[in-house]
Structure 1
Amino acid sequence: MVPLAVTRLCEFWNKPGVAEADFGSVDTATMMKKFLTMKDPSPPIIPKGTLLATPEILPSWLTEEDIEYFASKFSKTGFTGGFNYYRALDLTWELTGPWSRGEIKVPAKFIVGDLDLVYDFPGAKEYIHGGGFKKDVPLLEDVVVIEGAAHFINQEKADEISSHL
């Protein structure tokens, strides 16, 4: 039996209109504030009938002007374009299939936040730390996992990122 959370997640991402309705259930500025400041690596689903909790004080790397800028853009276009990127992943994999076993053959360092929802996606940590990533990127010099950072790591931890570069 498929867990309800998995069923809800598949419906959320794959059925056009569901995710858009979820994200559209609150004003765009509130949605942007939540999305940019979330530290929960689970998928960004707004539970039905709940208020979207956002921080009262923004982190130092994010201003109200930033929020208003992003909100002004997304209130014009909506979130469908972003969702369609994820809905088209199977097609993307199909189109890039000829290069699927290609190696990245340049020196590289991988930096990720421990709270990034992509890092916490099922199988990601095993791939990154279990040898699969190193096999695909043979000149991988280092994997850095920054504690307390989420998806917008270059903004959240700018000084720490710069020191690693």
Structure 2
Amino acid sequence: MTEVTHQIIKTNGINIHIAEQGEAGPLVLLLHGFPELWFSWRHQMAHLAKHGYHVVAPDIRGYGDSDSPLCTKSYTLVHLVGDIVGLLDHFGEEQAFVVGHDLGAFIGWHLSLFRPDRVKALVALSAPYFSRSQNTRSPESFRRMIGEGCYIWQFQEPGRAERAFARYDYLTVIKKFLLMTKRDYLVAPHGMEIIDYLETPATLPPWITEEELQVYADKFQESGFSGPLNHFRAMELNWELVGPWEGSKIVVPTKFIAGDKDIGFDVMGTREYVKGEVFRSLVPNIEVVILDGHHHIQQEKAQEVSNEILSFLKKFSAN
């Protein structure tokens, strides 16, 4: 099996860093979430490459070794989808399999909405699709519904979260986000920043090592957190931009995978939504798989998730 290689690709006006494994076969794009990197897909990359797929995992704009524009208006869905289309064009592929987790799932859903002609099939992890009419969740609406301790509200003010994060070393910040299990993590008590509220686990779970966490910490120490946080700061603009797709469905074949202990499942009826008919009406060609696990399911349950992705892709690989 080939080793992971790295390169910088010019696409959509910026430089995108990609990790790549597998020299031939159908193209699979793996899109990471917050606050992660291409590295979050290390297990799936090896598994898919071993089974004959050409696997490409970019650092999303603002992350890692990809460019991090200063302006928050450079982090809209138009930009993010454009980056992925640019990667497809770079590789000379009309279509690709797309797998996304968290932020990456958000991008995958909207790539499938804006450009279904470029997506052979989609696997979305941990973040379900909400239509624009449902997604009235602007930062201000989060503040009204949940309170000013909501992390989305706190992330809006440029520099605020960066200053709060700076009270900790980078490894601690990564541990607080990647390993959190508090069910009420969305909201810090009055007057407290979310990063102060999140706990630092005394021991690591078996699915990740100190050395692996350090990979994230070292890269974020180089690139900072402003790029990742700018994605949250584009939320209101994104809601405006998706207006023309109001009422549209995701028509590409899709599998949704999530952990049953994912904290996000217990927020504003998400667990019931994923099980209900509204979700399936918006994504009619969908399979839903719920595993025993938390939010970062592709790392926590690496082999199970790899098998679920592979079994789904195989259904369409001959087409």
TM-score normalised by the chain length of structure 2? 0.44
Alpha-carbon spacing, 1:115–1:100, altered in 2? closer, same or farther (3 Å):
farther
Higher helix proportion = 1
Aligned mates of 1:61, 1:140 — CA distance in 2: 28
Give unpaired runs (5+ residues) of structure 2: 1-142, 310-319
- Does residue 79 of the first structure (1) align with residue 225 of the second (2)? yes
Aligned mates of 1:3, 1:88 — CA distance in 2: 19
Asked if the contact 1:35/1:44 (under 8 Å) is kept, the reply is no
Who is 1:66 aligned against? 212
Aligned mates of 1:27, 1:44 — CA distance in 2: 22
Q: Which residues in structure 2 correspond to 1:34-53 (within 5 Å)?
A: 34-41=176-183, 42-43=185-186, 47=192, 53=199
What are the Cα deviations for residues 8-66 of structure 1, in whole angstroms up to 9, with x where unaligned?
22641222222222222211111112211112242285956x68643343223212222
Higher strand proportion = 2
Asked if the contact 2:149/2:187 (under 8 Å) is kept, the reply is no
- Classify the secondary structure of the residue corresponding to 1:145: strand
Aligned mates of 1:98, 1:51 — CA distance in 2: 39
Who is 1:162 aligned against? 306
Aligned mates of 1:138, 1:82 — CA distance in 2: 31
Aligned mates of 1:103, 1:67 — CA distance in 2: 37
- Classify the secondary structure of the residue corresponding to 2:231: helix
Aligned residues: 161
Alpha-carbon spacing, 1:98–1:120, altered in 2? closer, same or farther (3 Å):
same
TM-score normalised by the chain length of structure 1? 0.79
Aligned mates of 2:294, 2:147 — CA distance in 1: 22
Give unpaired runs (5+ residues) of structure 1: none
Aligned mates of 1:79, 1:51 — CA distance in 2: 18
- Classify the secondary structure of the residue corresponding to 1:154: helix
Who is 1:112 aligned against? 258
Who is 2:66 aligned against? none
Q: CA deviation at 1:93?
A: 2.2
Report the RMSD for the aligned CA atoms in angstroms. Answer: 2.8
- Classify the secondary structure of the residue corresponding to 2:257: strand
Q: CA deviation at 1:137?
A: 0.4
